[in-house]
Amino acid sequence: MMTQVRKQRRPATPKQAAACCGPLDATLDPMLFRALSDPTRAGLIACIAKCGRGCSVGEVAQCCSVDLSVVSRHLSMLARAGVLAANREGRTVLYNVRYAELSRALRALADAFEQCCPVDQRKGGACDGGCR
């Protein structure tokens, strides 16, 4: 038995598209993008990731030319966004990259975009995917 896959029609306007709820809506996390969009925060994440272990604010501050209090605020924001885990050991807070959670969030976003616009149809530059 052969089943036909019915292609869903693309919304005619952005307003109609906004009303169409799909996985893309659920995976676009503004807090995550805000956290990742700052060049200093991106550098701090890279520093901690390359270190491969929990790092204190003082250790991380040595990676950049930013004041310790500013580094502390950046790390706190990254922790609130779910990019870093903050673990207290006595008076010291160690920050670790939440690799699995960050990878999962970015992979889910990539999957949602691919569902909206299938890979085989993006090659030609035009997307004919529809709301799902």
Determine contact, residues 44/71, Cβ cutoff 8 Å.
yes
Determine contact, residues 2/112, Cβ cutoff 8 Å.
no
Q: What's this model's pTM, rounded to 2 decimal places?
A: 0.71
pLDDT tens, position by position, 19-37: 665 667 777 788 888 999 9
CA separation for the pair 129, 97 (Å, rounded): 35
Q: Tell me what pLDDT residue 6 has.
A: 46
Quick one: pLDDT band at residue 110, thresholds 50, 70, 90? confident
Q: Tell me what pLDDT residue 92 has.
A: 93
Q: Residue 88 pLDDT > 90, yes or no?
A: yes
Domains and their CATH numbers in the chain = 22-115 (1.10.10.10)
